[in-house]
Structure 1
């Protein structure tokens, strides 16, 4: 019998809400966190909008010793992991340090920290570069800092697959649980909202140049013309079901039931995109049929060709209009490695509360094959949800979450 991996705690920092309850309330109300960037002046850049995490002051949560060592991204990840552990009623000091692991995802590492130290190098010289630059920029830094903070010395790692990496991290966490680890902290939190980070994102050619927050990011809409970047994400506490029951923790949010991944073929190869294969693999891993899925949390690239490819995959698996589809990331922007874990958190809350959150601003559907939940939440008996994510470079990932019973 395969080990059941359950989610017992969730920590969230999102552009439309700091903390799980605030995020979920805002999401169900259709409240957007997309606005003109404030972390730096975006004048002169083609992209001026972003989903920034407003109201987050790391100094209120972390020691003054830790702040100089960490990028903004890592500070958010540490606070999210603290929240997730509290939510799961876990005190790491009470557990065997080797029974706890950490697996996070990253798309870019600590760009803001890196930019600051490069500026110091160029303008002041090498003696003015922080020694912490050696790791603060690194893809694995969130995993390392979380594990150090909580004394977690079990199996750990980092997955780098852009937007898809967040689901891959949850799948890797499930592998560790199946191999005997009791608790794994997993998910993703990203932030690259600095000039260097923005320029790197612009190279994809997929960022929206719109200046109106309510029309800049319109997935599956006739007017779709790119996406808005964002920051934040979610950290999930995953446990073996038997270990969670043994310690008498809270009722789990749900089960990580299935996962699948694929790669797209080379451009102009004439071969089909790989998203359908990832979805089929996830359903097979969960041992369910497409009919068992109540809602799909879409990747929602916001670019016409990519939106069409996603609609192709979903209609091929579920049939035209065969499943409810939603994209609450229209309220946050695309959060890279943090986006899919945040969607997974929303999917688990949909199961808990029997409601599908809305896709906001999309009003002129470009594809009538999708049953897109628009503007207002839809009440539904949600037992099983599919989360879909695609990363720049051809990464595809799909995750099935379901109710515990």
Structure 2
């Protein structure tokens, strides 16, 4: 039997809300974070809308010595980790350093930082390049900076992946807890809103070129025209149930009950994509049947062919229109490695409050999709178990099952 792994703390930094409750309130109110990108002049680019965080001042949250050595994505990750630890009521200085670890996912690295330093190299010379360029660009920097800041010397790692990577990081953190590390900080945060980073995103051909923020990102809609890139993400604190009880934890957000990942076969293989298989394996890992899932948080690319394929996977697993489906990321954009963890946080808030946030903007779902997409306004419903799906570039798929737990850890059950 395995002990449950609980989410004891979590927080979010998203374009429509910084911090857990502000983000949640924004989702339920339909507050959008999608607007014209203002970090540089985008008028000469074919895509101009983004989910940009505009109300974050790093110097208000971090010591000045960290600012010269960090990219915006690392600053967001550090602050979100601080918030998540505070939510868990964890003081890392009171715990054994080797009993705490960090695993994050990152798709872009420190894009803005490194491109700024490259510009100095080419225009001024090597003497102008920051010494911090040696690590500030690196994909593992968020894991490293969080672990250094909080003295976490236990098993730590970084996953380089796109949208599916954030769920993979959570799955790896859960595995690490089960192997004996008492507490893990995990999640994903991304930002690539400098000119080169923007070009790298729109080069996929899947970024929306719409100019109306309300019509730019319409997952599962007949008028879907691509997705809107966003920045930010979420961080969660995972703990072994016994360790959390020993620490005196009185409240948990939920359990990471199941996880699985798959890889799509070659397009010409004749075999189906791997998303449904990832979902089935995650449900099996959680020890539940499809009928026990109360809501699915979809990957929701906003590209017709991809949406149809995901709808087919959901419909095939649950049956036509048998489970509510939602994609609240239409309010803030796809956050790459931050997307999956943000959906996990949202799912846990849905379990807490018994409400499913809506898929903003989407209104015309093709009948042959056969999914019960929550549109227009949030839907009140008892939510005990949620399935979160994510797909990344080049065929990566991940699925995580989260479920509610009893308020008291003394009532925990083992499976």
Written as runs of structure 1 = structure 2, the 5 A alignment for 1:72-111 is: 72-111=72-111
For residues 366 and 46 of structure 1, what CA distance do their matches in structure 2 show?
Answer: 28
Partners of 1:202 and 1:33 in 2: how far apart?
Answer: 19
Aligned to 2:308: 308
Aligned to 2:117: 117
List runs of 5+ in structure 2 lacking aligned partners.
407-415
Write the distance in 2 (CA, Å) between the matches of 1:194 and 1:270.
40
SS in 2 for 1:225: coil
- Residue 276 of structure 1 and its aligned partner are, at CA, apart by 0.7
Moved more, 105-114 or 268-277: 268-277
Matches within 5 A, 1:157-236: 157-236=157-236
CA contact (8 A) 1:107 1:336 kept: yes
Instruction: Flag structure 1 segments of 5+ consecutive residues without an equivalent.
Output: none
Count of residues paired in the alignment: 405
In structure 1, what is the equivalent of residue 61 of structure 2?
A: 61
Q: Distance in 1 between matches of 2:250 and 2:194?
A: 39
Most deviating of 145-154 and 263-272: 263-272
Could you report, residue by residue, the CA deviation over 1:199-250 in whole angstroms, capped at 9, with x for unpaired residues? 1112211111111101011110011111000000100011001111111124
Partner of 1:238: helix, strand, or coil? strand
| RMSD over equivalenced CA pairs, Å | 0.8
CA positional deviation for 1:271: 2.0
Partner of 1:144: 144
Residue matched to 1:391: 392
CA distance in 2 between partners of 1:134 and 1:245 (Å): 41
**Cα distance in structure 2, aligned partners of 1:303 and 1:6:** 34
Where in structure 2 are the equivalents of 1:211-290 lying within 5 Å? 211-290=211-290
Q: CA–CA distance in 2 between the matches of 1:3 and 1:159?
A: 25
Question: CA shift at 1:366, angstroms?
Answer: 2.2
State the TM-score, normalized to the length of structure 2: 0.97
1:375 and 2:376 aligned = yes
Counterpart Cα distance in 2 of 1:270 and 1:203: 28
Aligned partner of 1:348 in structure 2 is 348
SS of 2:390's partner is strand
SS at match of 1:163: coil
Deviation of the 1:54 alpha carbon: 2.0
The Cα shift of 1:362 comes to 0.3
CA distance in 1 between counterparts of 2:40 and 2:269 reads 40
Residues 300-331 of structure 1: CA distance to partner in whole angstroms, max 9, x if unpaired? 00000000000010001000101000000000
Deviation, 1:52, is 0.8
SS at match of 2:280: helix
Contact 1:9/1:237, CA 8 A, preserved across alignment: yes
Q: Is residue 2:24 matched to residue 1:24?
A: yes
Instruction: Measure how far apart 1:269 and its partner are.
Output: 2.9
Q: Give 3-state SS (helix, strand or coil) of 1:66's partner.
A: helix
